[in-house]
Amino acid sequence: MSHYTSIKTKYSNPLTFKDVLNKLNCPYVEYKNEEGLNILEIFILPFRMGKTNIYNDYSSNYLAFHWDKNSYNMVTDLQSWTQKESIDLFLKKLEVNYGYCETVKQAVSLGFTRSKIIAKNSTSRFVFQRYVEIVH
């Protein structure tokens, strides 16, 4: 049984990473910086779209991740954040949702199906099953 509350998550699947961001309703932009590195910036707190700068007055309210051809790595200076609790909460949601999505994708690719969801208090358990036909 997997439990996603305090695991170290490596964001190695770009499609899953972006799917999770969309699921969490987090706008993001992707671009190459001056060094040619792929950067993905996620907007966490309320933001305003500007005509020339997507951040406008909220330029410090985003997290930046660098894609190194294997995984996304956070490159943001968290010490500059004044609302640290909202960052911690967001990162926790990102880790849990990414881990869940990757587990489901792997389970489905191995022939498992989700058979039921057991919700208790604030937690949910997902039961996966795989039927194997044995021929004698």
Tokens of 135: 């021929």
- What's the whole-model pTM score? 0.71
Give me the numbers of helices (H) and strands (E) for the chain, helices first please.
Answer: 2, 6
* Residues in contact with 67: Cβ distance below 8 Å, sequence separation at least 6, in sequence order: 14, 37, 38, 39, 40
Query: Residue ranges of the domains in the chain?
Result: 14-129
Helices (H), the chain: 14-23, 84-109
Summarised one tens digit per residue, pLDDT across range 8-67 is 678 999 999 999 999 998 889 999 888 888 899 887 655 444 444 444 444 456 788 999
**Helix ranges, 6-83 (H):** 14-23
Q: Tokens standing for 107?
A: 């389970």
More confident residue, 112 or 81: 112
Cα–Cα distance measured from residue 109 to residue 112, given in angstroms and rounded to the nearest whole number: 7
